[in-house]
Structure 1
Amino acid sequence: MDMDADTVDWPRFLTRWSAEWADAQRDEVDPSPEDETSRREGWLGYAPADGADIAALEERLGCELPPSYCEFLRVSNGWRHAGGFVRELAGTEDAHWHEDAHHLGDTFDAAWDDEDNPPEVRAQVGLWARALQLHVDSDATYLLLDPADVGPDGEWAVREWAGWHAAEPRRYPSFAAYMVAMHQEFHHLESGSRGQRNLGFVNETTREQDAAVGRARTLSLRGDYEEAARLLTAAAKYGRPYGDELRDQIVRLGGVPGFGRLQPLPCDSAYLSDLLPLAAAVLRDSGRGAEGRLFADPEVFPDTARAAADILREVAAGTWRYTPGGAFGEAVDAAREKARWGDTDTAWGILRAAIPRWESLGPDHIAPLGLLADPVLAMVLTPERRRELLATPRGGEQGPGPAPTGDLDPVGLSWLVRPEGLGSGRRSAFRLVLVEGAAPAELPDLIGSSTVLAPPLRAWDVHHPPGRRQPSQGEDKALLSVGRAAPGWSFGIDVEPLPFVGDGLISPAPAASARGGHAIVVWYEPRPGAEVFHLSVARAGDPLYALTVRAGAVEETAGALPAELAPHALGFTTPGEQPQRAAAARALDAVAERHGLTLPRLALTQGRLHSFESVPWSRPPDPGDFRWTAAIG
């Protein structure tokens, strides 16, 4: 049956509602005489109002009534059990102006009339004094038709308010829209809650909506997630199984507007593999710990509490990994290996190719949400890629598939010195080591104070672990996040360096190049009036050339600088923050072009990378100590 509020077939709609209500009440013990009559006769309404009844009401009120309320009255002159909280709805005899009978206008009007409120809020001022009251008997619920809120079709908006739900009055654009919503509310209440479904509540409407959920699931797996979300939104209003669950997954992946807030339950097919880890990750990222929550309480969830406790602990520690199994699981493992070294574009390419091989775990599971909980892979799924995932056919279904999103990591290295290049709020200072012929895991052995890599961490967590003290200038051990810079190259970058030390610098380039390839060190500091750019390059353990510029003055050049890195050619001899930034950008792109280098911006700004503490980059000044960067051969 078409439940569009604009085209309600009132006789059919009200007859079906009445029959469904009567069937739901068949086991009710000791009903009221009125309810017993309604159940026996299969009718929640009254005799129709005729034209004279409606005309008399309009004359008493002094106005013409909105169309859908009049159409309703011509079928039933009043109604019982409109939803769960209005027991009696007014017909022509009982409808009357509310006239702020309970003095609610004083409180509401003062709040609504605030000049900072948007127009639609301020338009409610005077509602309680002017509205037509339609509730006759209710559970502290007020139902008002607003003659000042009229649509182009002549419909008056309905406002529903109950003090016990502590919110603004709900607005429905017409009486018909309100009645459709109350039919949905009746269904939602009778269908039961998640995990405690009333499986005996079956009728024509439930069968229609369950079929819509089935169509929506198929459409979603074929990639048509927007139409799927539309069907699921309607089905969820009727409380149908999987309506909320499936739409929530589309929302969480950014397919349609909304806020993913559905709590996982052990009855969810992907509870332990996808949904609980994602809920725990959301709590962790919001600053609220998930430890000790009811998921891990054996008195609440005896069958899953132990596994849930393990998951919560691993998510909090950042060690949980999404392991879906099968061919898709193999691709997830391969993508994670790429992503943990910063190669997020390749990681996404691996996942993209594998999405069609993903398998659903049950009728309430339409997407690999566990990817969003994996601390390494979550950042690979940018909003655009999440929508591409949703639009990709999977789970055994076929469809056209979306156009692929492009790679995200930029060419060259100049983006490092652009405002917010390393992320919003950062001042763009950094020091960087680029090493040829060594894997990222080998960098600690070359320039580390220990040979142990920390687990993948966000840049903030690398620099701000609990209990860490700020190093002094004399023990300036860089905290380097590491990854792959290009085929055959690795990088280590410190995005919160101490101030540049000048002639106290000990460049790690010679040690980093000990395996025989090149090593490049860059230190950039954009403090206005004291801008610093340092570049030093070594090969096979020997320094090749170096350049240090501070505030437009060349402090050092050593070795045979390539022509494209000459300070005057780059523009370093022009002082000022912007000229120095532009010169640094040109220098970085020249280095990148010379050696074929890139850096993974997405991983550096949003991801989690392995890290280690380097040997000191500076030495404390001693009397008579002539400090220099490196001997240039």
Structure 2
Amino acid sequence: MTHTPAFDWRPFLLRWSGEWSDSLPDAGTRNEKDEAARQARWLGFPPAAEARIAAMEERLGRRMPPTYREFLKVSDGWQHAGGFVRLLAGATDARWHNNESGLADMFEEYLDEDAEPAERQDADIWRRGLQLEVESDSTYVLLDPEDVGEDGEWAVYTWASWRAESPARYANFVEFMQDMYREFHSLRARRADGEPEFANETTRGLDARVESARLEALRGDWEQAEHTLDEAKGYSRPRAAGLGDQIRRLLGQTYMVYFEGVVTDPLYAPEMLPALVVEHAAHSYRDDSTLMFHLRGADDDVVSLARTTLEQVRNGTYRYTATGPFGGAVERARELARWGDTDRAWRTLLDALPVWQPLGPDHLAPLGWVADPLLGPLLTPERGRELLSTPRGGQGGEAPTRPVGLDPDGLAWLAHPDAHDNLTSYRFVLVEDVKPEHLPGRLADANEAALDDPMTCDEARRRMRGGQGEFSSYDDKALVAVGRAGARWSFAFDSAPAHFNPQRFVSPAAAASGGTRAVVVWSGLRTWRGEPFFHLSVGRNGVEEYAFTYADGETRRTGPIAPALDPDRFFGSQEEAIEVERSLLEAVTGEFGVHLPRHAITQGRLHTFTTRSWTRPPGDGETYAVISMNWGDAP
């Protein structure tokens, strides 16, 4: 058996008792026990002698766990353990619960034959546990004699009907009492009118640590700051939740993050509201009552700003702005992200972060950008840690080591099984010395030669389906995302192409290459629809220069193919399709010096447009079908 260092109960219980007494109004109405405790500044009882504890153990048939035993030697019971247990048992009142509450039956109703052992324990503890609460508000406290640590400590379980949660577990009686002390602080911190200010040595110490944590966070030591703020949050200290939530949000954590105390402050609302609103918009389904609940107490201007921001987030028009040099970096980063260069966009933000200034003492980092449709996708947990580790706001510190970018070089990432939800078929056009915004003029019909607003692939496809009422079995217009594919190249990428028909396929390479070069790739080497295939074509000055198509186990070629791209180098070998695909993509990368931005294509938002059909019209005797749909009649 291991031995845990002894806990000094007396100073802890004296501090608790004194703070409880001081938190009560002098003229309040109290029962005799509470008034006596207030005047004595002691919530406990006389110590239990060893003989009294031994008699208890003989009655119960078990030796009590060490920390509960030592507690009884200081106080034989306790009043007001937290906010909902009015009296905690001493040596005489502790008794076996024996499912007196019926909770074992209730928990067992929800079990099935596949229930985990931990789920069964939720039911069993109500039969074997030692009941400690004597008076409470529908709250149960049990010591579990079967959940014993190496130090001999019994776990404590608590459950309250009005909390509707699984039982809370504490490793020992000390942890339970410390949490009840935090609960007492948390409830007293939210004092009602007429109650004395809740200020004492504990609160003053916690508030000083919160301020130190703020400065630590600005210096880049966010992990220690987060730990300190979380501890202070457990006591409901002002500022702790609002500061800690800023750290959590930049780490990608959104659950129970509300920026309490700062989001309703007009000084901080422009930065905090977008981060709160974008998460609400993603899960609200137009019911905004939850958002308004978290803005309770805000003035009319903040509520109006929240509604405006919510509307902008929902329709994709929200744009994050900042002042000073950092604001200029935001604009440059947005332009880079707009065309898919998300790694450089992120570096642009990080390089300017040391000159960023907080709006006030409760602002730890720029935050509103997470709601920007172009900048928000830049955030990953790794990047959030990098941002938080960067000194800012006038504080010194060591800059973090820059991690590797999210975008690998070249094209070979497309052959990775995990790329873009296990992408098995895709097609793209690369055009040299042409800006992305000019690609529609080369690849689209005149009436469709315009870029849509940046959006994800899924958003673009939903919009296209919503506006398309007729579908043809011969027409193959591609919905493509566009961006930069290197220093001199632009791309148009289709992540969900139609079925490849080698007899009717028409490469857009020639049309796209007027006055320059264009490269077309269509890969289906790992497709689940039909036989594997791969197409490559290269156009120059409006003419297809060379091409090959591998399909149905055969290769058809035209023109003098560059040696590095000769299909005989890749097909006919015993390599698996994924290796053949990777080798082909590496060869295209080497021949043209191009790459595609993985993060922007798979996670970001890019401009899109619809190309001309990639298949020729039907010839004489060829049949096709046209399907018309009225989306307005859909439920």
The verdict on a shared fold, with TM-score over 0.5 as the criterion, is yes
Match of 1:233 in 2: 230
In the TM superposition, residue 165 of structure 1 has moved relative to its aligned partner by 1.3
The answer to whether 1:15 aligns with 2:14 is yes
Instruction: Give CA-to-partner distance per residue, 1:532-572, whole Å, 9 cap, x none.
Output: 222221222232112222132123x222211222221232x
Judging changes above 3 Å, is the alpha-carbon distance between structure 1 residues 260 and 370 closer, same or farther for their aligned structure 2 residues? farther
Alignment of 1:144-543 (within 5 A): 144-192=142-190, 200-254=197-251, 259-262=255-258, 266-268=263-265, 272-286=269-283, 288-289=285-286, 294-295=291-292, 301-421=299-419, 423-426=420-423, 428-449=424-445, 450-465=448-463, 467-469=466-468, 471-514=471-514, 516-526=515-525, 527=527, 530-543=531-544
Match of 2:48 in 1: 49
Judging changes above 3 Å, is the alpha-carbon distance between structure 1 residues 358 and 295 closer, same or farther for their aligned structure 2 residues? farther
SS at match of 2:617: coil
- Aligned length, in residue pairs: 611
Judging changes above 3 Å, is the alpha-carbon distance between structure 1 residues 407 and 299 closer, same or farther for their aligned structure 2 residues? closer
Alpha-carbon distance in structure 1 between the residues aligned to 2:493 and 2:106: 58
SS at match of 1:475: coil
Judging changes above 3 Å, is the alpha-carbon distance between structure 1 residues 542 and 130 closer, same or farther for their aligned structure 2 residues? closer
Amino acid paired to 2:150: P
In the TM superposition, residue 125 of structure 1 has moved relative to its aligned partner by 4.8
User: Is the CA contact 1:18–1:44 (under 8 Å) kept in the aligned structure 2?
Assistant: yes
In the TM superposition, residue 373 of structure 1 has moved relative to its aligned partner by 1.9
Instruction: Give CA-to-partner distance per residue, 1:343-392, whole Å, 9 cap, x none.
Output: 11111211221222222223332222223222212222222211111222
Alpha-carbon distance in structure 2 between the residues aligned to 1:499 and 1:260: 44
Amino acid paired to 2:311: R
In the TM superposition, residue 182 of structure 1 has moved relative to its aligned partner by 0.8
In the TM superposition, residue 593 of structure 1 has moved relative to its aligned partner by 1.1
Segment of structure 1 superposing worse, 287-296 or 405-414: 287-296
SS at match of 1:304: helix
The answer to whether 1:609 aligns with 2:606 is yes
Judging changes above 3 Å, is the alpha-carbon distance between structure 1 residues 318 and 239 closer, same or farther for their aligned structure 2 residues? same
Match of 2:39 in 1: 40
SS at match of 1:275: helix
Judging changes above 3 Å, is the alpha-carbon distance between structure 1 residues 6 and 399 closer, same or farther for their aligned structure 2 residues? farther
User: Is the CA contact 2:213–2:228 (under 8 Å) kept in the aligned structure 1?
Assistant: yes
SS at match of 1:122: helix
Judging changes above 3 Å, is the alpha-carbon distance between structure 1 residues 130 and 580 closer, same or farther for their aligned structure 2 residues? closer
User: Is the CA contact 2:521–2:536 (under 8 Å) kept in the aligned structure 1?
Assistant: yes
Alpha-carbon distance in structure 2 between the residues aligned to 1:157 and 1:28: 40
User: Is the CA contact 1:291–1:309 (under 8 Å) kept in the aligned structure 2?
Assistant: no
Alpha-carbon distance in structure 2 between the residues aligned to 1:196 and 1:310: 34
SS at match of 1:432: strand
TM-score, with structure 1 as normaliser: 0.89
In the TM superposition, residue 439 of structure 1 has moved relative to its aligned partner by 0.6
Alpha-carbon distance in structure 1 between the residues aligned to 2:250 and 2:296: 31
Match of 1:566 in 2: 566
User: Is the CA contact 2:281–2:310 (under 8 Å) kept in the aligned structure 1?
Assistant: no
Judging changes above 3 Å, is the alpha-carbon distance between structure 1 residues 583 and 154 closer, same or farther for their aligned structure 2 residues? closer
Match of 1:80 in 2: 79
Judging changes above 3 Å, is the alpha-carbon distance between structure 1 residues 459 and 384 closer, same or farther for their aligned structure 2 residues? same
In the TM superposition, residue 311 of structure 1 has moved relative to its aligned partner by 0.5
Unpaired segments of 5 or more residues in structure 2?
A: 623-635
Alpha-carbon distance in structure 2 between the residues aligned to 1:208 and 1:298: 29
Computed over aligned residues only, the root mean square deviation of the Cα atoms, in angstroms, reads 2.9
User: Is the CA contact 2:243–2:364 (under 8 Å) kept in the aligned structure 1?
Assistant: yes
User: Is the CA contact 2:206–2:237 (under 8 Å) kept in the aligned structure 1?
Assistant: yes
SS at match of 1:307: helix
User: Is the CA contact 2:25–2:195 (under 8 Å) kept in the aligned structure 1?
Assistant: no
User: Is the CA contact 1:473–1:498 (under 8 Å) kept in the aligned structure 2?
Assistant: no
Q: Which runs of 4+ in 1 moved over 6 A?
A: 195-199, 296-300
User: Is the CA contact 2:428–2:491 (under 8 Å) kept in the aligned structure 1?
Assistant: yes
Segment of structure 1 superposing worse, 365-374 or 117-126: 117-126
Alpha-carbon distance in structure 2 between the residues aligned to 1:197 and 1:602: 56
Instruction: Give CA-to-partner distance per residue, 1:188-208, whole Å, 9 cap, x none.
Output: 001119x99989211111111
Amino acid paired to 2:59: R
Amino acid paired to 1:367: A
User: Is the CA contact 1:409–1:602 (under 8 Å) kept in the aligned structure 2?
Assistant: yes
Instruction: Give CA-to-partner distance per residue, 1:596-623, whole Å, 9 cap, x none.
Output: 1111011111111011112222221222
Judging changes above 3 Å, is the alpha-carbon distance between structure 1 residues 540 and 291 closer, same or farther for their aligned structure 2 residues? farther
Judging changes above 3 Å, is the alpha-carbon distance between structure 1 residues 27 and 116 closer, same or farther for their aligned structure 2 residues? farther
Alpha-carbon distance in structure 2 between the residues aligned to 1:167 and 1:381: 32
Instruction: Give CA-to-partner distance per residue, 1:471-490, whole Å, 9 cap, x none.
Output: 42443222110000011211
Match of 2:625 in 1: none
Match of 2:587 in 1: 590
TM-score, with structure 2 as normaliser: 0.89
Judging changes above 3 Å, is the alpha-carbon distance between structure 1 residues 550 and 44 closer, same or farther for their aligned structure 2 residues? same
SS at match of 2:300: coil
Judging changes above 3 Å, is the alpha-carbon distance between structure 1 residues 120 and 375 closer, same or farther for their aligned structure 2 residues? same
Judging changes above 3 Å, is the alpha-carbon distance between structure 1 residues 351 and 150 closer, same or farther for their aligned structure 2 residues? same
Alignment of 1:60-71 (within 5 A): 60-71=59-70
Instruction: Give CA-to-partner distance per residue, 1:204-240, whole Å, 9 cap, x none.
Output: 1111111121122222222222211221221111111
Unpaired segments of 5 or more residues in structure 1?
A: 626-633
Alpha-carbon distance in structure 2 between the residues aligned to 1:103 and 1:622: 78
